[in-house]
Amino acid sequence: MGSKEEHHDIVIVGGGICGLATALALHRKGINSLVLEKSDTLRAAGAAIGIYINGWRALDQLGLGTELRTKAIPITEIRDMWLHKNKMQVTSCRKEELRCLKRGDLIETLAKNLPMQSVRFGCQIVAVESDPITSFPILYTNDGATIKAKVLIGCDGSNSVVAKSLGLQAPKVLSLSAVRGFTSYSDGHSFGSHFIRLIGDGVMLGRLPIDEKLVYWAAARLCPSQDSDVRKVPELIKEFTLETIREFPPEVIEMVKHCDSSSLSLTHIWYRAPWHLLFANFWQGTMTVAGDAMHVMAPVLGQGGSAGLEDAIVLARCLSQEMPIGPEGAISDRELRRRIGRALSKYVNERRLRVMRLSTQTYLTALVMTASSWIKKLVCLAILVVFLRGGPLSHTNYDCGSL
C-alpha cells in the first residue's frame, strides 16, 4: 500500500473472537467497521472454547446462538476429582448451558455473517498516535500505510498495541503453562456429557466432549524450564504432557497419547491483576480496548472468550446510542468526539466491575494452584469462599443485555 492514507469511521484491531464479534455487533446496529488482522487468514487456532449461558446470551444477541448450538452437545455436569485424595465433587450445570465449541467453528461463523471486505488480513499495526489537529486516532501499519479512524477499538490480545497506546500496564505471566488439544474417537467416546477436571500434584487436566466423537482437553501445570524447548514441536509437547500426567488414570493417558498432534499447543498464561483493572484507564479520546486486550485472564473459569463476547455487545450498544447514523451524520468533529467519549465511558463503567470480579476469582484460583506457601493457599481459599457464596458457577449468572 506504500504511503497510502485511508479514512474509516471505526477500526477494530484484531480479528479474533472479540474483534469479529464487535464488528458483527456493530453491523447488526447498522454501523460499518473495518477489522485489521495481522495474520493472513482467520485465526482458528486455539483448539476450543467453553461457553456458559452468559456467553450464549451474547451469541443470541448476535443472531448466532441457534446455529452454534448445533455444533456442540450440552454439558450436564462438572466432576472435580482430586487424584491423591480419592475425592470427587459433582456440580450440575444443566441450567448454566455449558457447551464446548471448536474455536474454528465460532470464528468462521462470526466471519461469514460480516459484510464482504469487513476484515483485512495481513495488516499489522505498529504504532498509534493522536491526530494533532482532530484528536482522532492515527494508525501506522508495517507496510508504511496510514489509517485514520474516528473510533479505534483494540481487540488485539494480551500484547495489544492499542492498550500500550492507552498507557496500560503490560500483563503479567503466571508460573503456569497450558497444553491444549483434540482427541477423536472414530467409534465414539464413552464420556457422556460430563466435564471432568482431574487435579493432581501440580497439574490439572480438564476434558470436555464437543460431540459424540470429539473431545477437547487442556492441561495446566507449573512452568518447567523445558517449556521453551518444546512449545513449537507437537510431538515433544505430547511427550512432555504424557510425562506430566503419568500418574493419571489410564483412559486419560490414552486420550493424550492418541490425540491429534496437529491440534496441540503449549502457551504461557497471562493475566491482568484485579487491582490494575480497578484503576486502569481503558479509554481515552475515541480509543478503547476489549477482550484480552482489556482483561486477559487465566482459563481456569472458562470465561475469557465469553467475557469478550459480552464486551462486544455492550460496546456496540453504547456506540450505537451515541454515534450518528444516516442523515444525522453531519455533525462537527468536536461533537462527534464528545459523543464517542460518552459512549466509551459508559462502556468501560459497565464492564469494569464484571471483569474485575471474573479476574479476581480467576487470579485467586490460579494462586491456589501455584502458591508454594500453604498460608498463601489458605488465604486465597478463604477469599474465594466470598466469591462462591452464590455457588461455584455464580460467574455465569450475568446478562450483558440486549444489543
Task: Give residue 343's pLDDT band: very low, low, confident or very high (50, 70, 90).
Answer: very high
Per-residue pLDDT of 148-158, as tens digits, reads 999 999 999 99
Average pLDDT over residues 56-83: 97
What pLDDT does residue 162 have? Answer: 98
What pLDDT does residue 380 have? Answer: 76
pLDDT at 388 over 70: no
What pLDDT does residue 67 have? Answer: 98
Percent of the chain with pLDDT over 70: 96
CA distance readout (Å), 389 to 222, 278, 310, 394? 28, 22, 23, 8
pLDDT at 229 over 70: no
Rg of the Cα trace of the chain?
22
Helix or strand or coil: residue 95? coil
pLDDT at 373 over 90: no
Task: Give residue 378's pLDDT band: very low, low, confident or very high (50, 70, 90).
Answer: confident
- The angle that helices 333-370 and 304-322 make with each other, rounded to 10 degrees, is 170
Q: Which cell is 218 given? A: 487442556
What pLDDT does residue 363 have? Answer: 87
The more confident residue out of 82 and 377 is 82
Average pLDDT over residues 205-231: 85
pLDDT at 1 over 50: no
Domain 174-270 has CATH 3.40.710.10: no
β-pair partners for 209: 215
pLDDT at 374 over 80: no
Per-residue pLDDT of 310-319, as tens digits, reads 999 999 999 9
Of the candidates 18, 60, 7, 6, the one whose C-alpha atom is nearest the C-alpha of residue 293 is 18
**Residue type for 266, please?**
L
What pLDDT does residue 225 have? Answer: 54
Per-residue pLDDT of 247-263, as tens digits, reads 999 999 999 999 999 99
The listed range with the strongest mean pLDDT (24-28, 169-173, 382-386) is 24-28
pLDDT at 205 over 90: yes
Per-residue pLDDT of 100-146, as tens digits, reads 999 999 999 999 999 999 999 999 999 999 999 999 999 999 999 99
What is the rounded average pLDDT for all residues in the chain? 92
First to last CA, the chain: 36
β-pair partners for 221: 177, 203
In residues, how long is the chain?
403
Percent of the chain with pLDDT over 90: 78
The more confident residue out of 378 and 10 is 10
Entry pTM? 0.94
Of the candidates 198, 214, 148, 202, the one whose C-alpha atom is nearest the C-alpha of residue 177 is 202
**Domain boundaries of the chain, sorted by first residue:** 5-73+101-171+272-396, 174-270
Average pLDDT over residues 87-99: 94
Average pLDDT over residues 322-351: 88
pLDDT at 389 over 80: no
Average pLDDT over residues 31-58: 92
One of 2.40.160.50, 3.30.1330.80, 3.50.50.60, 3.40.630.10 is the CATH number of 5-73+101-171+272-396, namely: 3.50.50.60
Task: Give residue 188's pLDDT band: very low, low, confident or very high (50, 70, 90).
Answer: very high
CB 29 within 8 Å of CB 320:
yes
Measured distance CA(39)–CA(196) in Å, rounded:
34
